[in-house]
A and B are shown apart, each in its own frame.
Chain A
Amino acid sequence: MDLATFLVQCLNSLQYGLLLFLVASGLTLIFGIMGVINLAHGSFYMIGAYMAYALAPVVNATLGGGFFTTLLVGLVLAIALGYLLEWAFFSFLYEREHLQQVLMTYGLILVFEELRSLVVGDDVHGVSPPDWLAGSIPLGDLMTYPVYRLFISAVCLALAAAMWYVLGRTRLGMTIRAGATNREMVQSLGIDIKFLYRVVFAAGVAIAVLAGMVAAPVSSVYPGMGNQVLIICFVVVVIGGIGSIRGALLAALLIGVVDTFGKVVFPQAAGVLVYVLMALILLWKPDGLFKVGS
């Protein structure tokens, strides 16, 4: 492997890892704060990708905006969807056992997949990046690197920073963290915990939808893409330690590197490497890399 290939693979693993982090962060947020195992999280990623495909012509025709207007419209819809879902399906799951949550969210996966099939069909679609991000940067003599992939990495980094700031440095973040530790106590201090949960859930959904919309131009849009990302995101969440945003970031980057370089160096064993990594890490640290709380 020469230097240019190595560099390209490094950038690819960084971009893949950051994208994984984006989807997984919503999952770990919802799990860590609300204690809900949400199997339907991958579906939000899928919905985002299909939004990028299906919304763009509609938005262009009505609002006339470009790529960013589509992203914005998608985000607003995602927040509304998350808010509605929490109200209708998740709000009565908090008191239930984890396995009841698994069953309910599994049902939601099936519903989302079939609704997707009814609304936009089962075809595979490509989504083109906006013109001004469609170019490539030359690397060495032969290699180039697409600008759009750099853009994805930048968006993910910006969101990671925003999440760190909101959760760690604001009053809202403080109440959310307090709500994760002791729901009743926060409620008795006069904070509307139900509303807070709804906001967290909507934010988690919006992040996953955004990840799907941003990823659509590089991964293309296909049925079942949500389930594929779901399992790998759970891997990220448990390696990082459930509820830990910092852990999810580290785990996602680790998996990005292992998966990307695994495909280049050991193509026969690429699929299994991630799982071997997870098993080894959990046998070494049974609570993930960054354990949160007690």
Chain B
Amino acid sequence: MTPPRSGPRPSTPKIASVAIGALALALWPLVTGSFGVDLVTKTMIYAIVALSLELLVGATGLVCFGQAAFFGLAAYAAVRLSPEGAAASLLWLLPVAMGVGAGYALFMGALSLRTKGVYFIMVTLAFAQMAYYVVHDTPLGGGTDGIYLYVKPVVAIGSMLLLDLDKPLPLYYLVLGCLGATFIFLALLLRSRFGRALAGIHVNEQRMRATGFSTYPYKLAAFTISGAIAGLGGVLFAVKDGFVNPELLSWHFSGAVLIMIILGGLGHLRGAVIGAFAFALLQELFKSEAIFGAFAKHWLLGLGMAIIASVALLPRGLIGIGELLTHRLRRTPRVPV
């Protein structure tokens, strides 16, 4: 039996919610200052990385604990490949650096897909840690201090400058564009025959194999695509901060991205984006001295308790709130988790 050629069309409320979110992000710089623009730029980069992980965890059921490696290696590649003292063109830098992320993902996936479950989580962690130590301990990576990107790349055709990424606003809209493109690309990918095959692998890999699918190439392809998208996030991060250090590749970042997508709700692309924003906003909320005063120093306590509460109250993640509320209002029984 072959899976349907494409998945169901997205419902109108789904499209509407995405469109409203995109519009709000596009208008955000009009109502906020430089702090708000910077914060949302960073959050949107996290959302791109969260989307890349959602392709593996939510769509395919592969829990990867090494996303920081693709992110960080691409960021390092972007800095290393930029000529010193002159601006590189993002038009070639971006694909090349994304290729570095995809290449490492291909290598990591080819080997680690032999294992399953928690073993798979740990093997991906091991490969990510290897990349971390290579960057941390060899001259290639510049050690603990990291490397600066002195001249930021430009988007230019010939001598015509299209986007000057040294300014916050062009960078903001570039990142927003990349987030939108990633979202649409993944939405189409998951509706395609390839995406339906991934969904089948998620539900029952044994049965997919029995129906004649060689599942390994599908999983490896998903892994490589995910590495490329995480690499996109890495390049944007390097351009935004103008600085890379080994902490970009640390397992703490892989863990944080995983937390974002679980918090948002697995199995939905919107969940990944919502999770990234919720994580960033909760951080800012609990760090706020205006609300918590001297206690803001211990903001991690608030974040931790919010996360625990979300597990206790929202078993389907933040995206399940709507469903939870409609069931409560209509007094219909809840679907068991």
Q: A residues near B, CB below 8 A?
A: 31, 37, 89, 92-93, 95-96, 98-100, 102-104, 106-111, 113-115, 117-118, 227, 231, 234-235, 238, 242, 268-269, 271-272, 275-276, 278-279, 282-283, 286-288
Contacts and interface: CB of A to CB of B under 8 A. Distances in A.
Contacts, number: 121
25 contacts: A31-B118, A96-B311, A98-B118, A99-B57, A99-B258, A102-B259, A102-B262, A103-B311, A104-B307, A104-B308, A107-B304, A111-B308, A238-B122, A269-B133, A271-B129, A272-B130, A272-B134, A272-B137, A275-B126, A275-B127, A275-B129, A276-B130, A279-B126, A279-B130, A283-B111
Contacts of B308: 89, 104, 107-108, 111
Contact of A102 (B116, B126, B258): B258
Counting from the closest, the 5 A-B pairs by CB-CB distance are A110-B304, A107-B307, A114-B301, A272-B133, A111-B304
A234 B129 CA distance: 13
B311 A272 contact: no
Contacts of A31: 118
Contact of B118 (A37, A96, A113, A276): A37
Contact of A115 (B251, B266, B301, B303): B301
Interface string B251-267: 11001001100110010
A234 B122 contact: yes
Interface in B138-171: none
B298 interface: yes
B115 interface: yes
A186 B306 CA distance: 36
Interface of B: 57, 63, 111-112, 114-116, 118-119, 122-123, 125-127, 129-130, 133-134, 136-137, 251-252, 255, 258-259, 262-263, 266, 298, 300-301, 303-308, 310-312, 315, 337
Contacts of A103: 259, 262-263, 307, 310-311
A287 B53 CA distance: 24
